[in-house]
Amino acid sequence: AVVAETLDADAADIEEALERLERKSGFVKLAAEHEYPNRSLTLRYRFVHALYQNAFYAALRPTRRVSLSKLAAEALLHFHGPQAGKIAAQLGFLFETARDFERAARQFQLASQNALRLFASREAEALARRGLDAVRSAPDAANRTRLELGLQSALAAAIRDRKTHASGETLETHQRVHALSQEAGDQRSAFFAQVGLFWSALVRSDRLGAREQAGQCRATAEQIGDPGLVMQADYLLGYLTFHSGEHEECERVLRTVLALYDPSKHIKMIETFSLDVRANGMALLGLNLWYLGFPDQARAKSQEAIDIARTLPYPIPLTLTLMMKTFLSDFLDDPRAMDEASGEVIAIAEKHGLQTNTLFWGKFGHGWALARMGRLEEGKAQMREAIADAQTMGMIYVVPVLDLALAFVLAGEGAAGEALALIGKHLPHSEKAGTHEKLPEMYRLKGELLLRQGLELEAEKFLLLALETARQTGARSLELRAATSLSRLYHARGEPAVARKLLAEIYGWFTEGFDTPDLRNAKALLEQIAHGAANDSSL
């Protein structure tokens, strides 16, 4: 009927013919009355059985299929008008059958982008690949480059969401996007590719490569002259400085980024980059505030980030803010909050099909919380399973962080040898990298474990390294922890004056968070030193 209407046939005659066909053959039946977006009315018929449809279709000559498919596609475009994008996948298949490969590719690109907005990454990938097949037969070389660029960009986003930036396929697709963007002179597509290459380098723990890509992103954003892209590039730098242990620089960069964010202009960027600079930048700022020695501000900023992320119609920003809350809750000794946050991450991952790139975070956090709440064996099993998942995916940069958390759990139950082995596996690489946000804690835990084994001089060496590294990175909270461990050692050794001076100096710096475990432990130790009573405290 649609094709006939396109050919200017009389609509009443068409309806009458279809009604006769329905009555006499029984092959088709009326499915519904339908109004097209342009307010045209029509009837929708369907075959009673797919066998009839297949038989009729097989009976058509190939040339007839081509002409009918093209007519149907043109008719649908006419009746849907500006809303034709909603049926892009249907149009793509029709134009493909009509052998109009250029238009098929355009529709498949649009359909893939539609699927990405719905977080249907698997469908988006399949549609993008179908479009890429069509592009190869497009007649115009210049158009082929532009079409392939759009389709490869959609494919990169789909693979990223399904397989993470650690996937070799994600890296190769972003490299292809970058090459095509250079060929087409498309700086925005080049920026998108550079962001992807940044994350691929970072998850592989290639910090130098990530820093280089962040710089290229910044340069490209400035050339384009788009403040939103500049803000996005600076967020990458803020993320990198945090994980490199440059906490004061991270603070400066993130506050600059958040000051530039305009929800009316920048919220749509989530569709392209899969994160929200405001929600995720605020969550990262909260975590960084704890390192800098402001636990109360950290808690408030983390909650503010989660509240914002809950208002967004996209799941990934919320999972990222919840994952960061898991770590902050550990710092604040709140395992129940850890469990709640990680449980929500698991629920979001399962609901939206994000099992590959976010489920392991939730699984790890849940196991970590269980272990912290006394269910050690169950908790350790889940933590180890999540670490294995991260390693399988190639998420190299997160493994030392997860292993360190597991090492603290092992140390807490007396498994010093296993905990030391985990630290020893990552410490050389972290030292070689120069800085790492977890490096002071690696040194501190190793020192504490060596002290338990009676190796006091070796223990002191690593505790001093923890203190020095924390000071270099501006991590006041880690400096307090290292100073507490060292002061306990000096007091037990019979040097109370040295112990008190070391701990009192950093404890006196703090202006908030006095109800947190670290500050309570430090205060208790200072009181014990003052009364000449040594005390063994937990890690």
Nearest to 191 by CA among 148, 142, 149: 149
Q: Can you give the pLDDT at residue 18?
A: 63
**Looking up tokens 């693979």, which residue turns up?**
159
The CA R_g of the chain, rounded to the nearest whole Å, is 30
pLDDT tens-place string over residues 280-297: 999 999 999 999 999 999
Kindly report which listed range (12-16, 105-109, 120-124, 386-390) carries the lowest average pLDDT score. 12-16
The more confidently predicted of residues 14 and 46 is 46
Q: Can you give the pLDDT at residue 394?
A: 87
Q: What percent of the chain has pLDDT over 70?
A: 93
Residues in the chain: 539
Q: Can you give the pLDDT at residue 25?
A: 67
pLDDT tens-place string over residues 64-112: 888 888 888 898 888 888 888 899 999 999 999 999 999 999 999 999 9
**208 Cβ contact list (under 8 Å, min separation 6):** none
**pLDDT range class, residue 235, cuts 50, 70, 90:** very high
Q: Can you give the pLDDT at residue 21?
A: 64
Three-state helix/strand/coil letters over 97-130: HCCCHHHHHHHHHHHHHHHHHCCCHHHHHHHHHH
Q: Can you give the pLDDT at residue 4?
A: 47
pTM given for the model: 0.87
- Rounded distance between C-alpha atoms, residue 458 and residue 448, angstroms: 10
Give the H or E element holding residue 42.
Answer: strand 41-47
Q: Can you give the pLDDT at residue 390?
A: 92
56 to 27, 59, 74, 447: CA distances (angstroms): 10, 5, 22, 78
pLDDT at 183 over 50: yes
Nearest to 232 by CA among 240, 221, 248: 221
Q: Can you give the pLDDT at residue 12?
A: 59
Instruction: List 32's β-bridge partners, or say none.
Output: 44
- Rounded distance between C-alpha atoms, residue 525 and residue 537, angstroms: 9
Instruction: List 43's β-bridge partners, or say none.
Output: 33
Q: Can you give the pLDDT at residue 434?
A: 65
Q: Can you give the pLDDT at residue 46?
A: 80
523 within 8 A of 507, measured Cβ to Cβ:
yes
Give the H or E element holding residue 47.
Answer: strand 41-47
Q: What is the mean pLDDT of the chain?
A: 90
The more confidently predicted of residues 410 and 354 is 410
138 within 8 A of 105, measured Cβ to Cβ:
yes
Highest mean pLDDT among 22-36, 116-130, 265-279, 504-518: 504-518
- Rounded distance between C-alpha atoms, residue 16 and residue 8, angstroms: 16
Give the H or E element holding residue 416.
Answer: helix 416-433
Q: What percent of the chain has pLDDT over 90?
A: 70
Highest mean pLDDT among 13-17, 54-58, 314-318: 314-318
Taking residues 131-154, what's their average pLDDT?
Answer: 90
Nearest to 397 by CA among 537, 159, 209, 238: 209
Q: Tell me which DSSP letter residue 35 carries.
A: E
pLDDT tens-place string over residues 242-282: 999 999 999 999 999 999 999 989 988 998 898 999 999 99
Task: Compute φ and ψ for 188, nearest 5 degrees.
Answer: -65, -40
Taking residues 214-222, what's their average pLDDT?
Answer: 97
Taking residues 507-535, what's their average pLDDT?
Answer: 90
pLDDT tens-place string over residues 338-375: 999 999 999 999 888 776 778 999 999 999 999 999 99
**pLDDT range class, residue 221, cuts 50, 70, 90:** very high
**pLDDT range class, residue 5, cuts 50, 70, 90:** very low
pLDDT at 24 over 80: no
Q: Can you give the pLDDT at residue 11?
A: 55
Q: Can you give the pLDDT at residue 22?
A: 63
- Rounded distance between C-alpha atoms, residue 278 and residue 296, angstroms: 20
pLDDT at 533 over 60: no
Q: Can you give the pLDDT at residue 1?
A: 44
pLDDT tens-place string over residues 447-488: 999 999 999 999 999 999 999 999 999 999 999 999 999 999
The more confidently predicted of residues 43 and 172 is 172
170 within 8 A of 162, measured Cβ to Cβ:
no
Q: Tell me which DSSP letter residue 140 carries.
A: -
Nearest to 255 by CA among 285, 276, 225: 285
Q: Which two tokens stand for residue 517?
A: 């475990």
